[in-house]
A and B are shown apart, each in its own frame.
Chain A
């Protein structure tokens, strides 16, 4: 019983510790310079101001937000499309080279993602895509985690249903879109949220690929502002809030799919 109480207290304290940075970002974004630079902390903004946000949008923050959304949504659509097709084939079709292909995918997933970013930069320069949002979308789509996740979900489709569809004369594509896809929809949902969040926060890839001020994403923009005006914490917090809040809302709204997706992706380890 004592053990139980101590656990609960510890958990609550830790929860506060984990929520606090987000709280501090949001409240900080409404504080004026005087409050921020004071020697004593103000736990809650007593005279909230919007100046930080006004200043933020004079940076091309709206442009950054737009870039980030285009990047994340683009990655999401392409990833879900390609991964659900491929995952289905890997789970339900018997074909030459399947075992080899699957092994390659697993091995690639165990590699450090960031290591290939430097050579990717050279590739993107060669393709003339540097500073283009495609340079961050294409590698995100190529990363094989999505295929793996969709394979896990596709395994749950009963083979009898696929055979029934075939006997009823449905072609391959017809079978996929009207039989398979509806059954793996929860998986696609999980993958969509996963890709959206990951792409939004993939700082290293964005940092390497995007350099021009107008092609930056929000995380990059915040980093840039921090480099240029490191003491204007109000402005930086406004940027951080703009980057964090939408994604936190998406996460809380689709929490169920998200956690299911994470758990599914690890079943085989």
Chain B
């Protein structure tokens, strides 16, 4: 009834020109104008502080911007070529890949296990566990990192005191440093996936589960055949956000090791920061930013593809 009233207003003056929704042109235009007025405040911020910097990033990646701003010149793909030949960049790249390849499956599998173990609990223990695993996220990366740095301290750190390993420098050893970082990254990454899995598992069609159980399906079969396909979109989402976050791992590294010892914990993000902040080479830093964005986009696309075909 409301629909006819709306459509009716446009009919009087001229032959009605309807759009695909059966509205008159004038009405459609009015709705468009009001929609953009609602969107305006948000768009100003979005364009000003997300779209514009993206543009800057892209354009500047073709410039050579030294410390001397006046000497900015267009250098074409020179920054990208330099990156290709830059050993430090590649070291950071492989470290980043290691972090992503270890932490993404670990975070996903672990949060799935926790989510599956707690989602059927009573509300209070469920909230308790959900909160506990989210705790490192809200505590904040910096606070979490400084306390770990203390615990990893060779002399008065808890870890060595408890294990009787006084003097061993976890963060100064090229073999252990990156694993310490991955471990801490893990604790700060699983909070959100667990919340998502608990929500997703709670939405699984219970009648299907019961029907399967009546038919004599084992626990494992119920999980992989019934729950897993239904939570696939959540898994995909978790894979993608965890990938994005792992690729951007920065604060932990800057605070714990500054990329050391001898570059074994440097990541792309850390190298970008170094280039821009220490050496003022904004052109080069932005070129690496573009590449990092492309790599992440490629990873996300692959995961999307794989998850889609898996499901079909």
Seen from chain A, the residues whose Cβ lies within 8 Å of a Cβ on chain B are 7, 11, 14-15, 17-19, 21-22, 24-25, 28, 36-41, 78, 81-83, 85-86, 88-90, 93-98, 101, 105, 108, 110-123, 138-139, 141-144, 147, 160, 163-164, 167, 172, 176, 197, 200-201, 203-204, 207-208, 219-220, 222-223, 226, 233, 236-237, 239-241, 243-244, 247-248, 251-252, 255, 259, 262-263, 266, 269
Contact = CB atoms under 8 A, between A and B. Distances in A.
Interface stretch (B29-37, B74-82, B83-91): B29-37
Given A11-B118, A39-B166, A203-B141, A262 B250 contact: no
B15 interface: no
A251 B2 contact: no
Contacts of A207: 254
A118 B150 contact: no
A68 to B, nearest CB: 10
B151 interface: yes
List the 10 closest A-B pairs by CB distance, nearest first.
A142-B49, A86-B42, A89-B38, A263-B199, A119-B56, A240-B143, A142-B45, A95-B35, A95-B32, A219-B142
Contacts of A144: 46, 50
A112 B142 contact: no
B146 A222 contact: yes
Contacts of B23: 94
The range of chain B's interface size is 35 or more
B18 interface: no
Nearest to B289: A115
Nearest to A203: B251
A34 to B, nearest CB: 11
Given A11-B114, A266-B234, A18 B41 contact: no
A83 B142 contact: no
B306 interface: no
A39 to B, nearest CB: 7
Interface string B48-69: 1111111011001000000000
Given A197-B138, A223-B142, A28 B31 contact: no
Contact of A251 (B134, B155, B240): B134
B158 A24 contact: yes
